[in-house]
Amino acid sequence: NFIVQLDWAPLFSGIAFFLLLSYADTILTLPFSLYNTFSVEKRFGFTTQTLSLWIADLLKSLVLNTVLLGLLFGALLWLINAMPAYWWLTGWLFLLGFSIFLLYISPYVIEPLFNKFTPIQDELLEKRIKETMGKAGLSISRVFTMDASKRSKHSNAYFTGIGHVKRIVLFDTLLKNHQPDEVLAILAHEAGHWKKKHLLKMLVLSQVFTLAGFYLAYHLTSGDRIALLFRLDNPTMQAKLLLVGFLASLLLFPVKPFFALLSRRHEREADRFAVQLTRSTRPMAESLIRLSRDNLANLHPHPWYAAFNYSHPPIVSRVAEIKAYRP
């Protein structure tokens, strides 16, 4: 009602509505974020982040989210007004293109706002990385180190880039805590995801659900059904979309275990690919053991909890499968 009373144009009032929701969510989660970073993570010796850095990250994220969410919701609301019969399709196409655009520019524009990336200093390791990735069919343009240690002692590595040409980013904590063979095994695992087209498969599957969600949202918001169901006094489009989002979260909850199961299957396939590429089970197994030890992973989670929530297989069974695998 507050936004309605401002008497702004529908497009700008819609953008303001969703931005205010985003700000409210940030405010509500602030205490939990602070507690997690400076109590839980600190208690177990993980966090290295200062309060000033945490505040700087928060402010940067607020500005970034304001720009990106403003563009996203502004475009979607404009499409709803300009193409009332087909916005579910054009909106989905825009969201898909917007996501791919962010995926492309993130390593060059967004990630450097939060971390410093420097070329890896170990030339021998860089050479071995490029040779190993070359065997998998990947052309590595650059290998970078990221200063992850200024926030946390957790380790990771990831690829960026679209197509065959990739950039590799290694957390400085990974280089500090792992042997070169283990680093190669971790990257071989990531190469397995690309080789097996796991990211593409998950993207296609998620977009099918997204398109279905947009089509459902179109039908629910085109009439007064959802307004009557929730007894809306002022059934604006943004209010209807918010309620559709709530309903979608309920409908997607039963699907969550399916996505988790598919993700665990992909992880096992990538593990086997890493063993094949490195021709040894030892580096992959030892890297996982070290990661689980350093991150205090739950070695024996409840099977039902793991089935619903784990995107990776539990570490004990995962290492056992790797050691038993014969390439």
- Whether residue 49 is found in the same domain as residue 67: yes
- Whether residue 183 is found in the same domain as residue 324: yes
- Whether residue 263 is found in the same domain as residue 187: yes
Phi (first) and psi of residue 156, to 5 degrees: -170, 170
**Block residue for tokens 């918001």:** 221
Phi (first) and psi of residue 164, to 5 degrees: -80, -25
- Whether residue 78 is found in the same domain as residue 184: no
Tokens of 199: 């990211």
* Domain edge (last residue) among 114, 148, 168: 114
- Whether residue 91 is found in the same domain as residue 161: no
Which of 272, 269, 221 minimizes the C-alpha distance to 242?
Answer: 221
Query: Rounded distance, CA 169 to CA 41, Å?
Result: 23
pTM over 0.85: yes
- Whether residue 200 is found in the same domain as residue 149: no
* Domain edge (last residue) among 114, 129, 144: 114
Among candidate residues 190, 269, 286, 294, the one labeled active-site is: 190
Could you list the residue range(s) of the whole structural domain that residue 133 is in? 116-177
Residue 161, pLDDT > 80, answer: no
- Whether residue 200 is found in the same domain as residue 147: no
Number of alpha carbons in the 13 Å side-chain half-sphere of residue 202: 17
Q: What is the pLDDT of residues 28-61, one digit of tens each?
A: 999 999 999 999 999 999 999 999 999 999 999 9
Residue 3: what pLDDT?
63
Mean pLDDT taken over the chain: 91
Residue 294: what pLDDT?
87
End-to-end CA distance of the chain: 64
Q: Are 187 and 278 in contact (CB under 8 A)?
A: no
Buried b (16+ CB within 10 A) or exposed e, 283-301: bbbbbbbbbbebbeeeeee
Q: What is the pLDDT of residues 223-281, one digit of tens each?
A: 778 888 888 777 888 888 999 999 999 988 999 999 999 999 999 999 999 999 999 99
- Whether residue 162 is found in the same domain as residue 91: no
Residue 188, pLDDT > 90, answer: yes
Structure confidence at residue 5 as a pLDDT band (50, 70, 90): low
Would residue 172 show up in a list of annotated catalytic residues for this protein? Answer: no
Tokens of 319: 């290492």
- Whether residue 264 is found in the same domain as residue 158: no
Among candidate residues 41, 172, 182, 271, the one labeled active-site is: 271
Would residue 271 show up in a list of annotated catalytic residues for this protein? Answer: yes
Residue bearing the bigger pLDDT, 9 or 216:
216
Structure confidence at residue 6 as a pLDDT band (50, 70, 90): low
Query: Rounded distance, CA 154 to CA 232, Å?
Result: 46
- Whether residue 191 is found in the same domain as residue 147: no
Query: In 3-state terms, what secondary structure has residue 327?
Result: coil
- Whether residue 211 is found in the same domain as residue 278: yes
Burial of 137 (0-12, 13-18, 19+ CB in 10 A): exposed
Q: How many domains does the chain have?
A: 3
